Chains A and B, each alone.
Chain A
Amino acid sequence: MAEPLLAIRGISKSFGSVAANVDISFEVAPGEILGLIGPNGAGKSSLFNIIAGSIVPDRGEILFAGRRISGIGAVACARLGIGRTFQVVRSFDSMTVLENVMVGAFLHARRSAAAMRAAGEVIAFCGLAGRQDVPAHRLSPPDKRRLEIARALATRPRLLLLDEMLTGLTPTEAREGMQLVRDLRAQGITIIMVEHVMEVLLPLIDRAIVLDLGRKLLEGRPAEIVRHPDVIRAYLGDRYVA
Protein backbone atom coordinates (compact mmCIF):
# COMPACT_ATOMS: atom_id res chain seq x y z
CA MET A 1 0.00 0.00 0.00
CA ALA A 2 1.20 3.50 -0.76
CA GLU A 3 1.77 5.96 2.09
CA PRO A 4 -1.65 5.82 3.82
CA LEU A 5 -3.81 8.94 4.01
CA LEU A 6 -5.39 7.74 7.21
CA ALA A 7 -3.94 5.39 9.80
CA ILE A 8 -6.05 4.10 12.68
CA ARG A 9 -3.91 2.60 15.43
CA GLY A 10 -5.30 0.70 18.39
CA ILE A 11 -8.42 2.81 18.85
CA SER A 12 -10.61 1.93 21.84
CA LYS A 13 -13.66 3.74 23.15
CA SER A 14 -16.11 2.87 25.88
CA PHE A 15 -19.36 4.57 26.83
CA GLY A 16 -19.86 3.72 30.47
CA SER A 17 -19.57 -0.05 30.64
CA VAL A 18 -20.28 -0.52 26.93
CA ALA A 19 -17.18 -1.02 24.78
CA ALA A 20 -18.03 0.59 21.45
CA ASN A 21 -14.63 0.06 19.87
CA VAL A 22 -11.90 -2.29 21.00
CA ASP A 23 -8.34 -1.99 19.68
CA ILE A 24 -9.26 -1.11 16.08
CA SER A 25 -6.42 -0.68 13.58
CA PHE A 26 -6.43 -0.22 9.81
CA GLU A 27 -5.17 2.08 7.09
CA VAL A 28 -6.79 3.90 4.21
CA ALA A 29 -4.86 4.58 1.00
CA PRO A 30 -5.27 7.84 -0.93
CA GLY A 31 -8.01 7.61 -3.56
CA GLU A 32 -9.59 4.57 -1.99
CA ILE A 33 -13.28 3.94 -1.32
CA LEU A 34 -13.43 2.08 1.97
CA GLY A 35 -16.59 0.55 3.39
CA LEU A 36 -17.11 0.37 7.13
CA ILE A 37 -19.73 -2.30 7.61
CA GLY A 38 -21.22 -4.40 10.33
CA PRO A 39 -24.56 -5.16 11.96
CA ASN A 40 -26.30 -2.69 14.28
CA GLY A 41 -24.29 -2.02 17.39
CA ALA A 42 -21.00 -3.03 15.81
CA GLY A 43 -19.38 0.31 16.66
CA LYS A 44 -19.43 1.85 13.17
CA SER A 45 -20.93 5.17 14.19
CA SER A 46 -18.62 5.53 17.17
CA LEU A 47 -15.55 4.86 15.02
CA PHE A 48 -16.87 7.19 12.31
CA ASN A 49 -17.29 10.01 14.82
CA ILE A 50 -13.83 9.35 16.25
CA ILE A 51 -12.29 9.78 12.78
CA ALA A 52 -14.36 12.94 12.23
CA GLY A 53 -13.04 14.29 15.52
CA SER A 54 -16.37 14.65 17.31
CA ILE A 55 -15.62 11.83 19.77
CA VAL A 56 -12.31 11.54 21.62
CA PRO A 57 -11.03 7.93 21.82
CA ASP A 58 -9.96 6.45 25.17
CA ARG A 59 -6.86 4.86 23.69
CA GLY A 60 -4.99 4.71 20.41
CA GLU A 61 -4.17 7.32 17.83
CA ILE A 62 -5.23 8.41 14.36
CA LEU A 63 -2.83 9.86 11.82
CA PHE A 64 -4.17 11.86 8.90
CA ALA A 65 -1.57 12.57 6.21
CA GLY A 66 1.07 11.87 8.84
CA ARG A 67 -0.42 14.20 11.47
CA ARG A 68 -1.91 13.04 14.70
CA ILE A 69 -5.57 14.07 14.71
CA SER A 70 -7.09 12.03 17.55
CA GLY A 71 -8.38 14.39 20.21
CA ILE A 72 -8.00 17.63 18.24
CA GLY A 73 -11.77 18.03 17.74
CA ALA A 74 -14.22 18.20 14.85
CA VAL A 75 -13.43 21.81 13.89
CA ALA A 76 -9.70 21.17 13.53
CA CYS A 77 -10.35 17.94 11.61
CA ALA A 78 -12.57 19.82 9.15
CA ARG A 79 -9.89 22.45 8.66
CA LEU A 80 -7.26 19.78 7.96
CA GLY A 81 -9.41 18.35 5.19
CA ILE A 82 -11.83 15.80 6.62
CA GLY A 83 -15.39 16.31 5.42
CA ARG A 84 -18.40 14.42 6.72
CA THR A 85 -22.12 13.88 6.41
CA PHE A 86 -24.51 12.87 9.16
CA GLN A 87 -26.62 9.78 9.62
CA VAL A 88 -29.63 11.95 10.37
CA VAL A 89 -29.40 14.76 7.82
CA ARG A 90 -28.43 18.12 9.31
CA SER A 91 -29.15 20.97 6.94
CA PHE A 92 -29.14 24.67 7.84
CA ASP A 93 -32.89 25.09 7.51
CA SER A 94 -33.07 28.87 7.63
CA MET A 95 -30.92 29.03 4.48
CA THR A 96 -31.27 28.18 0.83
CA VAL A 97 -29.28 25.40 -0.84
CA LEU A 98 -26.76 27.92 -2.17
CA GLU A 99 -26.33 29.53 1.25
CA ASN A 100 -25.87 26.13 2.91
CA VAL A 101 -23.05 25.25 0.55
CA MET A 102 -21.54 28.74 0.84
CA VAL A 103 -21.06 28.11 4.57
CA GLY A 104 -18.75 25.24 3.62
CA ALA A 105 -17.02 27.27 0.92
CA PHE A 106 -16.26 30.04 3.43
CA LEU A 107 -13.76 27.72 5.11
CA HIS A 108 -11.32 28.79 2.38
CA ALA A 109 -13.00 31.78 0.72
CA ARG A 110 -12.78 35.16 2.46
CA ARG A 111 -15.11 37.08 0.21
CA SER A 112 -18.68 36.17 -0.50
CA ALA A 113 -18.30 36.39 -4.29
CA ALA A 114 -15.58 33.74 -4.19
CA ALA A 115 -17.63 31.55 -1.83
CA MET A 116 -20.64 31.89 -4.12
CA ARG A 117 -18.63 30.85 -7.15
CA ALA A 118 -17.10 27.85 -5.40
CA ALA A 119 -20.49 26.82 -3.99
CA GLY A 120 -22.12 27.09 -7.42
CA GLU A 121 -19.57 24.70 -8.91
CA VAL A 122 -19.98 22.14 -6.13
CA ILE A 123 -23.77 22.36 -6.34
CA ALA A 124 -23.68 21.66 -10.08
CA PHE A 125 -21.30 18.75 -9.48
CA CYS A 126 -23.70 17.23 -6.97
CA GLY A 127 -26.67 17.55 -9.31
CA LEU A 128 -28.51 20.29 -7.43
CA ALA A 129 -27.98 23.06 -10.00
CA GLY A 130 -31.71 23.72 -10.50
CA ARG A 131 -32.43 23.96 -6.78
CA GLN A 132 -29.93 26.59 -5.66
CA ASP A 133 -32.49 29.03 -4.32
CA VAL A 134 -34.80 26.49 -2.70
CA PRO A 135 -34.88 26.70 1.11
CA ALA A 136 -33.03 23.66 2.45
CA HIS A 137 -35.99 22.45 4.47
CA ARG A 138 -38.04 21.99 1.31
CA LEU A 139 -35.68 19.49 -0.29
CA SER A 140 -36.63 15.82 -0.70
CA PRO A 141 -34.66 13.35 1.47
CA PRO A 142 -32.29 12.25 -1.33
CA ASP A 143 -31.66 15.88 -2.29
CA LYS A 144 -30.92 16.68 1.35
CA ARG A 145 -28.23 14.02 1.32
CA ARG A 146 -26.81 15.56 -1.83
CA LEU A 147 -26.86 18.92 -0.09
CA GLU A 148 -24.86 17.53 2.83
CA ILE A 149 -22.29 16.11 0.43
CA ALA A 150 -22.12 19.39 -1.51
CA ARG A 151 -21.64 21.34 1.72
CA ALA A 152 -18.83 19.05 2.88
CA LEU A 153 -17.31 19.09 -0.60
CA ALA A 154 -17.21 22.88 -0.56
CA THR A 155 -14.63 22.70 2.25
CA ARG A 156 -12.35 20.93 -0.30
CA PRO A 157 -11.75 17.79 1.79
CA ARG A 158 -9.13 15.16 1.03
CA LEU A 159 -11.08 12.59 2.99
CA LEU A 160 -14.88 12.41 2.90
CA LEU A 161 -16.82 10.44 5.50
CA LEU A 162 -20.30 9.38 4.36
CA ASP A 163 -22.61 8.12 7.11
CA GLU A 164 -25.36 5.84 5.76
CA MET A 165 -25.93 8.03 2.72
CA LEU A 166 -27.57 5.18 0.78
CA THR A 167 -29.87 4.04 3.58
CA GLY A 168 -33.55 4.65 3.02
CA LEU A 169 -33.22 5.52 -0.66
CA THR A 170 -35.16 3.82 -3.48
CA PRO A 171 -33.05 1.62 -5.80
CA THR A 172 -32.94 4.37 -8.44
CA GLU A 173 -31.91 7.02 -5.92
CA ALA A 174 -29.29 4.68 -4.48
CA ARG A 175 -27.84 4.10 -7.98
CA GLU A 176 -27.61 7.84 -8.52
CA GLY A 177 -25.98 8.22 -5.12
CA MET A 178 -23.42 5.55 -5.99
CA GLN A 179 -22.60 7.34 -9.23
CA LEU A 180 -22.00 10.51 -7.25
CA VAL A 181 -19.58 8.65 -4.97
CA ARG A 182 -17.67 7.38 -8.02
CA ASP A 183 -17.53 10.91 -9.41
CA LEU A 184 -16.15 12.13 -6.08
CA ARG A 185 -13.40 9.53 -6.17
CA ALA A 186 -12.59 10.55 -9.74
CA GLN A 187 -11.88 14.00 -8.26
CA GLY A 188 -9.17 12.41 -6.14
CA ILE A 189 -11.14 12.36 -2.89
CA THR A 190 -10.66 9.43 -0.54
CA ILE A 191 -13.94 8.11 0.82
CA ILE A 192 -15.01 6.12 3.86
CA MET A 193 -18.63 4.95 3.78
CA VAL A 194 -20.56 3.55 6.70
CA GLU A 195 -23.54 1.31 5.88
CA HIS A 196 -25.18 -1.52 7.67
CA VAL A 197 -26.86 -2.81 4.51
CA MET A 198 -24.01 -4.65 2.85
CA GLU A 199 -25.45 -5.37 -0.62
CA VAL A 200 -25.67 -1.73 -1.69
CA LEU A 201 -22.11 -1.07 -0.71
CA LEU A 202 -20.20 -4.03 -2.08
CA PRO A 203 -20.21 -3.10 -5.79
CA LEU A 204 -18.98 0.38 -4.92
CA ILE A 205 -16.10 -0.10 -2.52
CA ASP A 206 -12.50 -1.16 -3.04
CA ARG A 207 -12.11 -2.63 0.40
CA ALA A 208 -14.19 -3.20 3.49
CA ILE A 209 -13.59 -3.26 7.21
CA VAL A 210 -16.16 -5.43 8.96
CA LEU A 211 -16.89 -4.59 12.59
CA ASP A 212 -18.80 -6.74 15.02
CA LEU A 213 -19.46 -6.05 18.69
CA GLY A 214 -16.87 -3.29 18.70
CA ARG A 215 -14.02 -5.34 17.28
CA LYS A 216 -12.56 -5.53 13.82
CA LEU A 217 -13.79 -8.81 12.44
CA LEU A 218 -12.22 -8.72 9.04
CA GLU A 219 -10.63 -6.57 6.40
CA GLY A 220 -10.62 -7.37 2.68
CA ARG A 221 -11.99 -7.01 -0.81
CA PRO A 222 -15.77 -7.20 -1.24
CA ALA A 223 -15.59 -10.62 -2.92
CA GLU A 224 -13.63 -12.08 0.00
CA ILE A 225 -15.88 -10.47 2.56
CA VAL A 226 -19.19 -11.95 1.40
CA ARG A 227 -17.85 -15.50 1.48
CA HIS A 228 -16.17 -15.28 4.84
CA PRO A 229 -17.81 -17.49 7.46
CA ASP A 230 -17.28 -14.93 10.26
CA VAL A 231 -19.22 -12.31 8.31
CA ILE A 232 -22.07 -14.66 7.58
CA ARG A 233 -22.15 -15.62 11.23
CA ALA A 234 -22.17 -12.02 12.40
CA TYR A 235 -24.98 -11.02 10.08
CA LEU A 236 -27.11 -14.14 9.92
CA GLY A 237 -26.12 -16.34 12.85
CA ASP A 238 -24.33 -19.68 13.16
CA ARG A 239 -27.01 -21.70 11.32
CA TYR A 240 -26.16 -20.17 7.97
CA VAL A 241 -22.44 -20.90 8.00
CA ALA A 242 -21.98 -23.55 5.32
Chain B
Amino acid sequence: MAGAARGTLTMRRRREILLGAAILVFLALLPLGVGNVYLRGLIVLTLLYAGLAQAWNILGGYCGQISLGHALYFGIGAYTSTLLLTRLGVSPLFGMFAGGVLSGGAAFLVGLPCFRLSGHYYVIATLVIGMMVALLAANWDFINAAQGITIPFHQESWTDLAFRTAILPFHYVMLAYAALIWLIAWLIEGSRWGFFWRAVKDDVAAARSLGISIYPSKLAAAAISGAATGIGGVLYAHYIGFIDPDSTLDLSLSVLIALPAVVGGIGTLWGPLLGAAVLIPVQQLSVAWLGSAAGGIDLMVYGALIMALALARPEGLVSFFQGRAREEAADHG
Protein backbone atom coordinates (compact mmCIF):
# COMPACT_ATOMS: atom_id res chain seq x y z
CA MET B 1 0.00 0.00 0.00
CA ALA B 2 2.66 2.44 1.09
CA GLY B 3 4.81 1.53 -1.90
CA ALA B 4 1.98 2.04 -4.36
CA ALA B 5 1.05 5.37 -2.82
CA ARG B 6 4.64 6.54 -2.68
CA GLY B 7 4.73 5.90 -6.40
CA THR B 8 1.88 8.32 -7.02
CA LEU B 9 3.78 11.50 -6.17
CA THR B 10 6.85 10.30 -8.10
CA MET B 11 4.66 9.26 -11.01
CA ARG B 12 2.83 12.56 -11.03
CA ARG B 13 6.13 14.41 -11.28
CA ARG B 14 7.33 12.13 -14.06
CA ARG B 15 4.06 12.69 -15.95
CA GLU B 16 4.53 16.45 -15.60
CA ILE B 17 8.04 16.44 -17.02
CA LEU B 18 6.93 14.26 -19.93
CA LEU B 19 3.96 16.50 -20.66
CA GLY B 20 6.29 19.49 -20.39
CA ALA B 21 8.65 17.96 -22.94
CA ALA B 22 5.75 17.20 -25.30
CA ILE B 23 4.48 20.78 -25.07
CA LEU B 24 8.01 22.06 -25.63
CA VAL B 25 8.31 20.03 -28.86
CA PHE B 26 4.88 21.21 -29.99
CA LEU B 27 5.74 24.87 -29.35
CA ALA B 28 9.12 24.47 -31.07
CA LEU B 29 7.34 23.23 -34.20
CA LEU B 30 4.52 25.78 -34.00
CA PRO B 31 6.10 28.40 -36.34
CA LEU B 32 6.06 25.76 -39.12
CA GLY B 33 2.27 25.77 -38.97
CA VAL B 34 1.77 29.48 -38.34
CA GLY B 35 2.88 31.66 -41.23
CA ASN B 36 1.03 34.81 -40.27
CA VAL B 37 3.51 37.33 -38.86
CA TYR B 38 0.97 38.93 -36.56
CA LEU B 39 0.06 35.55 -35.03
CA ARG B 40 3.72 34.66 -34.67
CA GLY B 41 4.32 37.89 -32.78
CA LEU B 42 1.37 37.07 -30.57
CA ILE B 43 2.89 33.69 -29.74
CA VAL B 44 6.26 35.27 -28.87
CA LEU B 45 4.53 37.62 -26.45
CA THR B 46 2.49 34.78 -24.98
CA LEU B 47 5.65 32.75 -24.35
CA LEU B 48 7.29 35.74 -22.66
CA TYR B 49 4.33 36.17 -20.34
CA ALA B 50 4.17 32.43 -19.66
CA GLY B 51 7.74 32.71 -18.34
CA LEU B 52 7.10 35.96 -16.43
CA ALA B 53 3.92 34.64 -14.83
CA GLN B 54 5.72 31.47 -13.78
CA ALA B 55 8.50 33.61 -12.30
CA TRP B 56 5.86 35.56 -10.35
CA ASN B 57 4.23 32.27 -9.34
CA ILE B 58 7.43 31.13 -7.62
CA LEU B 59 6.94 33.84 -5.00
CA GLY B 60 3.20 34.53 -5.22
CA GLY B 61 1.96 31.02 -5.86
CA TYR B 62 4.31 28.69 -4.05
CA CYS B 63 5.36 30.95 -1.18
CA GLY B 64 2.05 32.83 -1.02
CA GLN B 65 3.56 36.34 -1.09
CA ILE B 66 1.44 38.31 -3.53
CA SER B 67 3.54 41.00 -5.21
CA LEU B 68 2.16 43.82 -7.31
CA GLY B 69 5.60 45.27 -7.92
CA HIS B 70 7.18 42.74 -10.25
CA ALA B 71 7.51 45.32 -13.03
CA LEU B 72 10.37 46.69 -10.92
CA TYR B 73 12.43 43.52 -11.45
CA PHE B 74 11.39 43.35 -15.10
CA GLY B 75 12.50 46.97 -15.54
CA ILE B 76 15.81 46.48 -13.75
CA GLY B 77 16.58 43.55 -16.06
CA ALA B 78 15.56 45.50 -19.16
CA TYR B 79 17.55 48.61 -18.26
CA THR B 80 20.64 46.74 -17.05
CA SER B 81 21.17 44.83 -20.26
CA THR B 82 20.17 47.73 -22.51
CA LEU B 83 22.60 50.11 -20.79
CA LEU B 84 25.37 47.53 -20.82
CA LEU B 85 24.94 47.03 -24.57
CA THR B 86 24.38 50.62 -25.68
CA ARG B 87 26.92 52.31 -23.38
CA LEU B 88 29.59 49.64 -22.93
CA GLY B 89 29.00 47.25 -25.80
CA VAL B 90 28.51 44.31 -23.48
CA SER B 91 26.66 41.34 -25.01
CA PRO B 92 23.11 40.66 -23.76
CA LEU B 93 24.24 37.12 -23.03
CA PHE B 94 26.18 38.65 -20.15
CA GLY B 95 23.51 41.31 -19.67
CA MET B 96 21.02 38.54 -19.04
CA PHE B 97 23.21 37.31 -16.22
CA ALA B 98 23.81 40.80 -14.80
CA GLY B 99 20.13 41.72 -15.13
CA GLY B 100 19.10 38.52 -13.36
CA VAL B 101 21.52 39.10 -10.49
CA LEU B 102 20.55 42.75 -10.05
CA SER B 103 16.80 42.14 -10.19
CA GLY B 104 17.11 39.15 -7.87
CA GLY B 105 19.10 41.34 -5.49
CA ALA B 106 16.47 44.07 -5.76
CA ALA B 107 13.72 41.57 -4.89
CA PHE B 108 15.78 40.49 -1.91
CA LEU B 109 16.24 44.10 -0.77
CA VAL B 110 12.54 44.89 -1.20
CA GLY B 111 11.81 41.78 0.85
CA LEU B 112 14.06 42.77 3.75
CA PRO B 113 11.67 45.40 5.12
CA CYS B 114 8.49 44.25 3.39
CA PHE B 115 8.44 40.65 4.64
CA ARG B 116 8.19 42.10 8.14
CA LEU B 117 4.72 43.09 7.00
CA SER B 118 2.03 40.50 6.67
CA GLY B 119 -0.62 39.75 4.08
CA HIS B 120 -2.26 42.78 2.50
CA TYR B 121 0.40 45.16 3.79
CA TYR B 122 3.04 43.31 1.79
CA VAL B 123 0.95 43.63 -1.38
CA ILE B 124 0.53 47.36 -0.87
CA ALA B 125 4.22 47.87 -0.04
CA THR B 126 5.33 46.16 -3.27
CA LEU B 127 2.82 48.19 -5.24
CA VAL B 128 4.02 51.50 -3.76
CA ILE B 129 7.72 50.67 -4.19
CA GLY B 130 7.10 49.70 -7.81
CA MET B 131 5.26 52.96 -8.54
CA MET B 132 7.92 55.02 -6.77
CA VAL B 133 10.74 53.54 -8.82
CA ALA B 134 8.77 54.06 -12.05
CA LEU B 135 8.41 57.73 -11.15
CA LEU B 136 12.09 58.08 -10.28
CA ALA B 137 13.14 56.37 -13.50
CA ALA B 138 10.98 58.73 -15.54
CA ASN B 139 12.99 61.64 -14.13
CA TRP B 140 16.46 60.14 -14.08
CA ASP B 141 18.53 61.65 -16.91
CA PHE B 142 21.30 59.04 -16.73
CA ILE B 143 18.87 56.48 -18.15
CA ASN B 144 17.27 59.00 -20.54
CA ALA B 145 14.35 59.60 -18.17
CA ALA B 146 10.91 59.35 -19.79
CA GLN B 147 12.37 59.44 -23.34
CA GLY B 148 13.60 55.88 -23.10
CA ILE B 149 16.47 54.15 -24.84
CA THR B 150 16.57 52.74 -28.34
CA ILE B 151 18.86 49.81 -29.04
CA PRO B 152 20.45 50.58 -32.41
CA PHE B 153 20.61 47.79 -34.98
CA HIS B 154 24.05 47.20 -36.57
CA GLN B 155 24.07 43.66 -37.87
CA GLU B 156 22.44 40.28 -37.34
CA SER B 157 24.05 38.63 -34.33
CA TRP B 158 22.99 35.99 -31.81
CA THR B 159 25.43 37.31 -29.22
CA ASP B 160 23.76 40.74 -29.42
CA LEU B 161 20.30 39.18 -29.80
CA ALA B 162 19.93 41.46 -32.83
CA PHE B 163 17.95 40.30 -35.88
CA ARG B 164 16.61 42.02 -38.99
CA THR B 165 13.27 40.32 -38.42
CA ALA B 166 13.22 39.40 -34.78
CA ILE B 167 10.02 37.37 -34.53
CA LEU B 168 11.21 33.91 -35.52
CA PRO B 169 14.54 33.92 -33.61
CA PHE B 170 12.76 35.33 -30.61
CA HIS B 171 10.17 32.60 -30.81
CA TYR B 172 12.95 30.25 -29.75
CA VAL B 173 14.53 32.69 -27.29
CA MET B 174 11.22 33.19 -25.47
CA LEU B 175 10.40 29.49 -25.68
CA ALA B 176 13.72 28.69 -24.05
CA TYR B 177 12.98 31.30 -21.39
CA ALA B 178 9.49 30.00 -20.63
CA ALA B 179 10.77 26.41 -20.59
CA LEU B 180 13.64 27.32 -18.26
CA ILE B 181 11.41 29.07 -15.73
CA TRP B 182 8.91 26.21 -15.94
CA LEU B 183 11.71 23.76 -15.25
CA ILE B 184 12.89 25.82 -12.27
CA ALA B 185 9.35 25.77 -10.88
CA TRP B 186 9.18 22.01 -11.43
CA LEU B 187 12.46 21.52 -9.60
CA ILE B 188 11.33 23.78 -6.76
CA GLU B 189 8.08 21.81 -6.41
CA GLY B 190 10.02 18.66 -5.69
CA SER B 191 12.67 20.21 -3.49
CA ARG B 192 13.12 20.91 0.20
CA TRP B 193 12.71 24.65 -0.40
CA GLY B 194 9.55 24.13 -2.40
CA PHE B 195 7.96 22.13 0.41
CA PHE B 196 9.01 24.75 2.95
CA TRP B 197 7.61 27.59 0.84
CA ARG B 198 4.27 25.88 0.37
CA ALA B 199 4.16 25.21 4.12
CA VAL B 200 4.82 28.92 4.75
CA LYS B 201 1.96 29.79 2.39
CA ASP B 202 -0.50 27.35 3.98
CA ASP B 203 0.15 27.90 7.68
CA VAL B 204 2.93 29.96 9.22
CA ALA B 205 2.54 28.66 12.79
CA ALA B 206 2.56 25.03 11.68
CA ALA B 207 5.59 25.68 9.47
CA ARG B 208 7.47 27.18 12.43
CA SER B 209 6.60 24.17 14.58
CA LEU B 210 8.40 21.99 12.04
CA GLY B 211 11.57 24.05 12.22
CA ILE B 212 11.05 26.22 9.12
CA SER B 213 12.36 29.79 9.33
CA ILE B 214 9.72 31.95 7.70
CA TYR B 215 11.65 35.11 6.85
CA PRO B 216 14.64 33.49 5.05
CA SER B 217 12.22 31.26 3.12
CA LYS B 218 10.36 34.29 1.80
CA LEU B 219 13.60 36.10 0.94
CA ALA B 220 14.92 33.11 -1.01
CA ALA B 221 11.66 32.77 -2.94
CA ALA B 222 11.66 36.52 -3.68
CA ALA B 223 15.26 36.51 -4.93
CA ILE B 224 14.66 33.60 -7.33
CA SER B 225 11.36 35.05 -8.51
CA GLY B 226 12.89 38.49 -9.00
CA ALA B 227 15.89 37.14 -10.93
CA ALA B 228 13.64 35.07 -13.20
CA THR B 229 11.48 38.13 -13.87
CA GLY B 230 14.54 40.27 -14.60
CA ILE B 231 15.79 37.85 -17.26
CA GLY B 232 12.37 38.20 -18.92
CA GLY B 233 12.90 41.97 -18.88
CA VAL B 234 16.29 41.58 -20.60
CA LEU B 235 14.77 39.45 -23.36
CA TYR B 236 11.87 41.85 -23.84
CA ALA B 237 14.22 44.83 -24.23
CA HIS B 238 16.23 43.15 -26.98
CA TYR B 239 13.11 41.84 -28.70
CA ILE B 240 11.39 45.21 -28.92
CA GLY B 241 14.62 47.26 -29.26
CA PHE B 242 13.22 50.14 -27.25
CA ILE B 243 12.54 50.61 -23.56
CA ASP B 244 11.12 53.42 -21.46
CA PRO B 245 9.70 53.58 -17.92
CA ASP B 246 6.14 53.28 -19.28
CA SER B 247 6.72 49.96 -21.00
CA THR B 248 9.03 48.33 -18.45
CA LEU B 249 8.23 49.70 -14.99
CA ASP B 250 4.54 50.63 -15.03
CA LEU B 251 2.05 49.27 -12.52
CA SER B 252 -0.07 47.87 -15.34
CA LEU B 253 2.87 45.62 -16.24
CA SER B 254 3.03 44.34 -12.67
CA VAL B 255 -0.62 43.38 -12.98
CA LEU B 256 -0.06 41.82 -16.38
CA ILE B 257 2.75 39.67 -14.96
CA ALA B 258 0.63 38.44 -12.04
CA LEU B 259 -2.66 37.98 -13.90
CA PRO B 260 -1.92 34.86 -15.99
CA ALA B 261 -0.80 32.98 -12.87
CA VAL B 262 -3.86 34.09 -10.93
CA VAL B 263 -6.33 33.29 -13.70
CA GLY B 264 -4.58 30.09 -14.75
CA GLY B 265 -4.14 28.68 -11.27
CA ILE B 266 -2.00 30.19 -8.55
CA GLY B 267 0.65 27.91 -7.06
CA THR B 268 0.33 25.36 -9.85
CA LEU B 269 2.82 24.25 -12.45
CA TRP B 270 0.54 24.70 -15.47
CA GLY B 271 -1.52 27.67 -14.31
CA PRO B 272 0.79 30.45 -15.54
CA LEU B 273 1.25 28.86 -18.98
CA LEU B 274 -2.47 28.22 -19.36
CA GLY B 275 -3.33 31.69 -18.11
CA ALA B 276 -0.88 33.34 -20.51
CA ALA B 277 -2.19 31.26 -23.42
CA VAL B 278 -5.71 32.55 -22.78
CA LEU B 279 -5.15 36.09 -21.50
CA ILE B 280 -2.37 37.45 -23.71
CA PRO B 281 -4.04 36.63 -27.05
CA VAL B 282 -7.39 37.91 -25.79
CA GLN B 283 -5.77 41.09 -24.53
CA GLN B 284 -3.84 41.68 -27.76
CA LEU B 285 -6.79 40.81 -30.00
CA SER B 286 -9.18 43.02 -28.07
CA VAL B 287 -6.74 45.89 -28.53
CA ALA B 288 -6.40 45.12 -32.24
CA TRP B 289 -10.12 44.75 -32.91
CA LEU B 290 -11.71 47.14 -30.47
CA GLY B 291 -8.91 49.48 -29.47
CA SER B 292 -9.51 51.93 -32.28
CA ALA B 293 -13.31 51.74 -32.14
CA ALA B 294 -13.71 53.57 -28.87
CA GLY B 295 -11.24 54.21 -26.08
CA GLY B 296 -11.49 51.66 -23.27
CA ILE B 297 -13.78 49.09 -24.88
CA ASP B 298 -10.89 46.65 -25.22
CA LEU B 299 -10.14 46.97 -21.52
CA MET B 300 -13.82 46.46 -20.67
CA VAL B 301 -13.98 43.26 -22.72
CA TYR B 302 -10.74 42.09 -21.17
CA GLY B 303 -11.89 42.89 -17.64
CA ALA B 304 -15.24 41.18 -18.19
CA LEU B 305 -13.49 38.04 -19.35
CA ILE B 306 -11.26 37.96 -16.28
CA MET B 307 -14.30 38.42 -14.03
CA ALA B 308 -16.16 35.63 -15.80
CA LEU B 309 -13.18 33.30 -15.44
CA ALA B 310 -12.74 34.17 -11.78
CA LEU B 311 -16.41 33.51 -11.07
CA ALA B 312 -16.55 30.25 -13.02
CA ARG B 313 -13.24 28.87 -11.80
CA PRO B 314 -11.96 30.48 -8.59
CA GLU B 315 -9.11 27.96 -8.41
CA GLY B 316 -7.95 28.87 -11.90
CA LEU B 317 -8.24 27.39 -15.37
CA VAL B 318 -5.98 24.53 -14.34
CA SER B 319 -8.82 23.09 -12.26
CA PHE B 320 -10.65 22.20 -15.52
CA PHE B 321 -8.00 19.52 -15.97
CA GLN B 322 -7.30 18.66 -12.35
CA GLY B 323 -10.85 18.17 -11.11
CA ARG B 324 -11.29 14.59 -12.24
CA ALA B 325 -7.79 13.34 -11.46
CA ARG B 326 -8.07 14.67 -7.89
CA GLU B 327 -11.45 13.00 -7.33
CA GLU B 328 -10.08 9.70 -8.53
CA ALA B 329 -7.03 9.94 -6.29
CA ALA B 330 -9.28 10.63 -3.32
CA ASP B 331 -11.56 7.68 -4.12
CA HIS B 332 -8.64 5.30 -4.30
CA GLY B 333 -7.31 6.62 -0.98
A residues at B contact (CB < 8 Å): 52, 54, 73-75, 78-79, 83-84, 86, 90-96, 98-99, 102-104, 106-107, 109-112, 115-117, 120, 123-124, 129-135, 138, 151-152, 154-155
Contacts and interface: CB of A to CB of B under 8 A. Distances in A.
B203 A90 contact: yes
Nearest to B6: A120
A79 B211 contact: yes
Most A CB within 10 A of own CB, among B195, B209, B214: B209
Contact of A86 (B2, B190, B205, B329): B205
B245 to A, nearest CB: 37
A124 B191 CA distance: 23
A133 B8 contact: yes
Interface residues of B, number: 33
B205 A90 contact: yes
A132 B208 contact: no
A132 B6 contact: yes
B213 A75 contact: yes
Chain B interface SS verdict (over half): helix
A197 to B, nearest CB: 24
Given A92-B198, A115-B192, 7 more contacts: A91-B202, A91-B203, A93-B202, A110-B192, A124-B2, A129-B5, A133-B332
B1 interface: yes
Most B CB within 10 A of own CB, among A109, A132, A133: A133
B295 interface: no
A98 B9 contact: yes
A155 B210 contact: yes
B147 to A, nearest CB: 46
B181 to A, nearest CB: 20
Nearest to A84: B209
B199 interface: yes
B191 A112 contact: yes
B205 A54 contact: yes
B329 A103 contact: no
Nearest to B193: A106
B306 interface: no
Nearest to B61: A94
12 contacts: A54-B208, A83-B209, A86-B209, A92-B206, A98-B6, A99-B198, A102-B195, A107-B211, A120-B6, A124-B2, A130-B333, A151-B210
B199 A131 contact: no
Interface string B207-232: 11111111000000000000000000
Closest 3 CB pairs of A and B: A78-B211, A132-B5, A92-B202
A17 B267 CA distance: 43
B213 to A, nearest CB: 5
Contacts of A54: 205, 208-209
B170 interface: no
A133 B210 contact: no
Most A CB within 10 A of own CB, among B199, B267, B326, B330: B199
Contacts, number: 113
B326 A135 contact: yes
Most A CB within 10 A of own CB, among B190, B196, B206, B332: B206
Given A103-B195, A112-B192, A135-B326, A75 B211 contact: yes
Contacts of A93: 202-203
Nearest to B333: A134
Contacts of A90: 203, 205-206
Interface in B295-333: 326, 329-330, 332-333
A110 B196 CA distance: 12
Contact of B198 (A94, A115, A134): A94
A105 to B, nearest CB: 9
B329 A134 contact: yes
B156 to A, nearest CB: 44
Contacts of A151: 206, 210
A152 B2 contact: no
A75 B196 CA distance: 13
Contacts of B195: 99, 102-103, 106, 112, 115
Most B CB within 10 A of own CB, among A74, A99, A103, A131: A103
A155 B211 contact: yes
A9 to B, nearest CB: 23
Nearest to B329: A133
B155 to A, nearest CB: 47
Nearest to B204: A90
A116 B332 CA distance: 20
A42 B113 CA distance: 38
B2 A104 contact: no
A112 B190 contact: yes
A131 B4 CA distance: 11
B201 interface: yes
B208 A74 contact: yes
Contacts of A92: 198-199, 202-203, 206
Contacts of B208: 54, 73-75, 78
Contacts of A79: 211
B2 A99 contact: no
A178 B206 CA distance: 23
B67 to A, nearest CB: 19
A106 B192 contact: yes
